[in-house]
Structure 1
């Protein structure tokens, strides 16, 4: 029969171990929204297709620096006139959302700047993060366990005794905080062809990776040799 609180011959001790690490991010995600607007559906769709291709070609030109690229939502929506009888369409709005994941942070500032310089293109991010299998999580868990054992030993030593056995170890969770706050955002731009001829390339953004805070926590129960009180 299990005795939940121990016995005088086998007293139990329950402790909590915690770990807090601050590490560099491993990936950066950016969201790219390409838009178009036309008096008719075909014009809006053609412009959207052209701008989407330009954004994809630019992202793919960075090769292995862009580890993951995917297309999310796509829409072409009619805008109805506010006044007048019937459902008369004033214009059509197109929109495509892309998500890119980068591991080469040296290319990130240049890429986000060049994307934001495209026509009717919005860039959100970067969103700094760790990989799901990051070694930082394992290190945090191990540190939390070591702290639990050390804390239990210190309590046992205070009673003039030693630990005998581990009864239970419970993982109460680990996570990375402060990894989702965007550090950069640029809204859509619309410029004339004459303006393009006069413009020079925008200077790359200087982006500082946001440190990730990894937390881990365990609960542990041990038995001790009977102390002499």
Structure 2
């Protein structure tokens, strides 16, 4: 039977007189331009006949998709979110008599070209029974702004620890811990500013096309926060 090995000494939570500990927090707040913008497109149809309502919805949905796709690489993502065909019953008389049918398709588009964005939103709003909501400005998940904020937060923590040590007439000796609080936040989609919703309920005349909207991208706020713990040489307190 092997003799028991001596337990390693546990670190003292608040350091020792021979190796005092400094605990600091580093933060970074960056304001950067957005990289992408999202818009929501809702295509609607309504009619007394279910088949004609579906045909109208299919035609208008195809027109909206073709228009968005015509912008090529400016559109990074295009997705259909929902499709509904709903019968509406009459309120009078006996029995379940259908008075009309409602159809709706939801589309989401993500663009990186903000000049094309202003033109596209205007042209979409000129389509029949088509509504546009947005834009929601955002950064990509792998944006360099997130890395820059984290690195700046670390540099601030180190600088702050150096300043505390210098105030005591000593210097740092080792880094004990660096904890990422995961506080970087690009403020995407839900809280971003919105463009006023637009709805068109009839096709625009060919010679009366609306001018493109001039959209001002909303600045994005990136926040990073770290906790760091260092040891320092014993200071002379007298």
TM surpasses 0.5: yes
Q: Find the partner of 1:203 among 203, 211, 214.
A: 211
Larger Rg: 2
- CA distance in 2 between partners of 1:197 and 1:143 (Å): 54
Q: Aligned pair count?
A: 226
Q: Find the partner of 2:186 among 160, 167, 176.
A: 176
- Offset from partner CA, 1:82-102 (integer Å, 9 cap, x none): 222122111100010101010
Q: Find the partner of 2:89 among 69, 76, 80.
A: 80
- Offset from partner CA, 1:183-209 (integer Å, 9 cap, x none): 313343223x7xx44760001100001
State how 1:183-222 maps to structure 2 within 5 Å: 183-191=194-202, 196-197=204-205, 200-222=208-230
Alpha-carbon deviation of 1:62? 0.5
Report the structure, 1 or 2, having the larger strand content.
1
Quick check: 2:186–2:223 contact (8 Å CA) kept in 1? yes
Quick check: 1:116–1:186 contact (8 Å CA) kept in 2? no
> What is the TM-score when the length of structure 2 is the normalising length?
0.91
- CA distance in 2 between partners of 1:117 and 1:197 (Å): 9
- CA distance in 2 between partners of 1:177 and 1:64 (Å): 25
Quick check: 2:134–2:197 contact (8 Å CA) kept in 1? no
Alpha-carbon deviation of 1:177? 2.8
Counterpart of 1:63? Answer: 72
Tell me if 1:94 matches 2:103. yes
Counterpart of 1:45? Answer: 54
Q: CA RMSD in A?
A: 1.4
Quick check: 2:193–2:218 contact (8 Å CA) kept in 1? no
